[in-house]
């Protein structure tokens, strides 16, 4: 199977969907002129024209508002946020319009809008360009939220998101864009709402997504050397959460560790912990462990930035504590 980068995989998904459906278009800051700051839109304006690959003013409110209007008018817009942090600028459009319009219109309309939001810690980008904000949107009914961890999922989930008739937030970790991996050729989509068992095991379940999946798999390899068999689940989607896959794994392993780069307080790990505690508590042989960033803004200093990032050894230590 051929190998391409995460960025190339998303570009391929965009190109295929724009070729398949003339209603699909993309807009954002510097995506036509620059090709996107991570190269994820490179070549699209030459292939589809600037009428479908649109450079916008520096106004996230205008970008998302225009996307909502286009979706209501029957188009299938993809809007790019440049950095996920900037979603805060247009939060009213996301919270009160994009997520609720179909409900408020009694289901008489659809909202096939994809918001692409590069997130995560990378190279001292500091407090306003390094955040992982996915848990904000887990709390908003009406939105679907996907977060791929690898090149194949990057393509398959983006294609599924573009074909979805409900609004989808597509978070893509900035550190993953140069990552290379196998991607199937030809037509394929990955269903939204279905997690993936990335590694089977029997002693402990480790749940993660996005960049931290790579740390989780690294930890699983280290644990195997100690005779601990870890099952690693890639959520892929955090709204809706695939409870069936999670519960089935916890019933088997009876131990659970949840890992994400986002702040631990109020994160995706908290929601999963609550779900397991409410419905699977009798299966657990040890307390649930959560790993996430401390409750601080992401520092600019490289040495301080390293202190807020989760690594494989921390995951190993958490597993060791509950497998004694």
Q: How confident is the model at residue 158 (pLDDT cuts 50, 70, 90)?
A: very high
Radius of gyration of the chain from its Cα atoms, rounded to whole angstroms = 20
The beta strands (E) that lie in the chain are given as 3-5, 24-28, 53-55, 76-80, 114-119, 144-146, 168-173, 180-182, 196-199, 204-208, 230-234, 237-239, 256-263, 289-293
Reduced DSSP (H G I as helix, E B as strand, rest coil) percent helix, strand, coil of the chain, to 5: 40, 20, 40
Give the number of C-alpha atoms closer than 13 A to the C-alpha of residue 301, restricted to the C-beta side.
4
Q: What are phi and psi of 96, to 5 degrees?
A: -105, -10
Is residue 108 classed exposed, middle or buried when 0-12, 13-18 and 19+ CB atoms within 10 A define those classes? exposed
Q: What is the pLDDT of residues 53-62, one digit of tens each?
A: 999 999 999 9
Q: What is the largest CA-CA distance in the chain?
A: 61
State mean pLDDT over 176-198: 94
Residue 306 has which token pair? 């390293």
Give me the active site residues, please: 129
pLDDT, residue 164, reads: 97
Residue 154 has pLDDT above 80, yes or no: yes
Name 69's Cβ contacts closer than 8 Å, sequence gap at least 6: none
Q: How confident is the model at residue 185 (pLDDT cuts 50, 70, 90)?
A: confident
Q: How confident is the model at residue 41 (pLDDT cuts 50, 70, 90)?
A: very high
State mean pLDDT over 9-30: 96
Give the number of C-alpha atoms closer than 13 A to the C-alpha of residue 195, restricted to the C-beta side.
26
pLDDT, residue 283, reads: 97
Calpha distance 158→189 (Å, rounded): 8
Name 306's Cβ contacts closer than 8 Å, sequence gap at least 6: none
Calpha distance 87→169 (Å, rounded): 10
Spatial contact of 309 and 277, defined as CB atoms under 8 Å apart = no
Domains of the chain: 3-182 (3.40.50.970), 196-322 (3.40.50.920)
Nearest to 192 by CA among 171, 161, 150: 161
The b/e string for 3-35 (b: 16+ C-beta within 10 A; e otherwise) is ebbbbbbbbbbbebbbeeeebbbbbbbebbeeb
Residue 324 has pLDDT above 90, yes or no: no
């Amino acid at each position: 199977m051929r190998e391409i980068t995460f960025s190339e995989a998303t570009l391929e998904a965009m190109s295929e969907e724009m070729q398949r459906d003339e209603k699909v278009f993309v807009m954002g800051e510097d995506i036509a002129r620059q090709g996107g700051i991570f190269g994820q839109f490179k070549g699209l304006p030459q292939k589809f024209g600037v009428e479908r690959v649109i450079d916008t003013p520096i106004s996230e409110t205008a970008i998302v508002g225009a996307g909502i209007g286009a979706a209501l008018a029957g188009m299938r817009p993809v809007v790019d946020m440049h950095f996920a942090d900037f979603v805060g600028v247009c939060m009213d459009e996301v919270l009160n319009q994009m997520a609720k319009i179909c409900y408020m219109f009694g289901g008489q309309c659809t909202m096939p809008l994809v918001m692409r939001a590069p997130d995560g810690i990378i190279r001292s980008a500091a407090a306003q360009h390094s955040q992982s904000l996915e848990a904000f949107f887990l709390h908003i009914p009406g939105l679907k939220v996907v977060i791929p961890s690898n090149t194949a999922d990057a393509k398959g989930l983006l294609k599924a998101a573009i074909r979805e008739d409900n609004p989808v937030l597509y978070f893509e970790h900035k550190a993953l864009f140069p990552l290379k991996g196998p991607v199937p050729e030809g037509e394929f989509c990955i269903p939204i709402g279905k997690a993936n068992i990335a590694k089977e095991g029997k002693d402990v379940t480790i749940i993660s997504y996005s960049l931290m999946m790579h740390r989780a798999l690294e930890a699983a390899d280290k644990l195997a050397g100690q005779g601990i068999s870890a099952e690693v689940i890639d959520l892929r989607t955090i709204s809706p959460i695939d409870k069936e896959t999670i519960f089935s794994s916890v019933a088997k392993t009876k131990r659970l560790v949840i890992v994400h780069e986002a702040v631990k307080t109020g994160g995706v790990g908290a929601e999963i912990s609550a779900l397991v505690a409410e419905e699977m508590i009798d299966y657990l042989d040890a307390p649930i462990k959560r790993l996430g960033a401390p409750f601080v803004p992401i520092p600019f200093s490289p040495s301080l930035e390293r202190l807020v990032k989760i690594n494989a050894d921390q995951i190993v230590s958490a597993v060791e504590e509950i497998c004694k």
